[in-house]
Amino acid sequence: MSGDGIPGGDNPNPDVTSSDIPDGNDTTGNDTSGNDTSGDSSNVEPGDGGAGSAASSGYAASGDEAGEGMLGAEGAPEAKLEWYFLRVQVGREDRIRENMVRRLKQNGLEEHVPQLVVPTETIADHRAGKKTVKRRKLYPGYLMVQMKLNDDVWFVLRETPGFGDFVGGHAQPTPAKAEDVEKVLATMDASKEQPKVAVQYKKGDRVKIKTGAFENTDATVEEVHPDKGTLDVSVNFFGRPTPLSLGYWEVEPI
């Protein structure tokens, strides 16, 4: 990817502008759309080369064998280890990644592709008083791949069912900027160490309290604390607004 680079934060840009990549909003671990975030793609350890190493969904390859020149051009310089972003079919990111890894290994090309990553973040959710940890895709419909690009690698990736194209390049793939890659990998690592808390409410929302002394009482959300998973709400108690701090799982939308 050239130009402005890839996605940063919550609304990255696969096509060099910051308005095209959808926000990651799948917080379910096993939904019916096929966007299965509980796959086993993270059970292979990522490699160490390039701009950084992914927290999950990567696979490691031994050795550091050079590529055969970008797309096989005669006399081309040795291919460098670079990160690229791929568009793939939405909802099948994990399966497509697994198929790419398998096909690369079958063709003896895994040393050219140290890491193939589904960018995700770890989300903590509370339901019925129980905490669960899930993976949420940062950029549905995209993969990150670290590779030394050559004709054989290009062919295997391109011919994998579900592959779309490379972000930022058409005739020839364009590597992603190192700082953009580092930002995505840092987000993955940080959420793994301290999962984000999924909060669906915003200031001004009307909710009903489900537990405690104010059970079944209507309240208004005054402040949201995503890092803690708590809400400051206000209830009308004998004609006076009374502030309360509650876990977001202790209320429900009206």
What's the pLDDT tens digit per position in 64-115? 333 333 444 455 556 789 999 999 999 999 999 999 999 999 999 999 999 9
Place of tokens 């292979």: 44
pLDDT at 143 over 90: yes
Other CB atoms closer than 10 Å to residue 146's CB: what's the count?
27
Percentage of the chain with pLDDT > 90?
38
| Rounded CA Rg of the chain | 22
Q: Residues spanned by CATH 3.30.70.940 within the chain?
A: 1-195
> What pLDDT was estimated at residue 248?
80
CB 222 within 8 Å of CB 203: yes
The Cα–Cα gap between 43 and 240 comes to 55
Architecture of domain 1-195: 2-Layer Sandwich (3.30)
Q: Taking a C-beta distance cutoff of 8 angstroms, is the pair 204, 182 a contact?
A: no
The stretch 148-162 carries a mean pLDDT of: 94
Of 9-13, 63-67, 186-190, 216-220, where does mean pLDDT reach its minimum? 63-67
pLDDT at position 91, please? 93
Which of 9-18, 99-108, 199-208 is the most confident on average? 99-108
Instruction: Decide if pLDDT at 247 tops 50.
Output: yes
Tell me how far apart the alpha carbons of residues 233 and 222 are, in angstroms, rounded to a whole number.
5
* Placement of tokens 């140290």 in the chain: 114
CATH 2.30.30.30 fits 206-253, yes or no: yes
User: What mean pLDDT is predicted for residues 34-58?
Assistant: 39
Residue spans in the chain of domains classed CATH 2.30.30.30: 206-253
Q: Residue 147 belongs to what H/E stretch?
A: strand 142-148
The pTM for the full model equals: 0.55
pLDDT in tens, 20-42: 334 444 433 333 334 443 333 33
Q: Report the pLDDT averaged over residues 165-185.
A: 86
Cα gap 253→66, rounded to integer Å: 56
